[in-house]
Structure 1
Amino acid sequence: MKEIVLSLVTGVIVGFLFTLFRLPIPAPPALAGIAGIVGVYLGMRLFHWFTAFWK
């Protein structure tokens, strides 16, 4: 849980600073981009599950 809170706080700070300096946000601006990131994570977890299953 601590990692999640630290990640969220870091994201808020980075988002604030990027907006303050009028830089483009370093994250996907659309739901499709976020879904892609979640898909990559789920693919990694699925791979680990399959490799643990076959051992």
Structure 2
Amino acid sequence: MKMVLLAILTGFIAGFIFALFKLPIPAPPAFAGVAGIIGIYLGFKAYAWVQPMIESMMK
């Protein structure tokens, strides 16, 4: 949980600095983009969960 809070804090500070200097944000500008990133992460985790089953079927 500490890592998540530090990541959020770091992202907040970076976003604030980008806005301060009127630079484009280095992240998806819409919630749909953020949802896509979350989907990629969840897909990666799902594969790690089913990988042992896939490998056992291949033997």
- TM-score norm. by structure 1 comes to 0.89
Partner of 1:30: 30
Deviations 1:12-44 (A, max 9, x none): 110010001110011111111011101100110
The residue that corresponds to 2:17 in the other structure is 17
Partner of 2:44: 44
How far apart, CA to CA, are the structure 2 residues paired with 1:5 and 1:16? 16
Paired residues, what number?
A: 55
Unaligned runs of 5+ in 1: none
Once superposed, what is the RMSD of the aligned Cα atoms? 1.2
Tell me, in whole angstroms, the C-alpha distance in 2 between the residues paired with 1:10 and 1:16: 10
Three-state SS of the structure 2 residue aligned to 1:50 is: helix
Identity among equivalent pairs (%):
53
The 3-state SS of whatever aligns with 1:3 is helix
What is aligned with 2:4? Answer: 4
Mark the structure with the bigger radius of gyration. Answer: 2
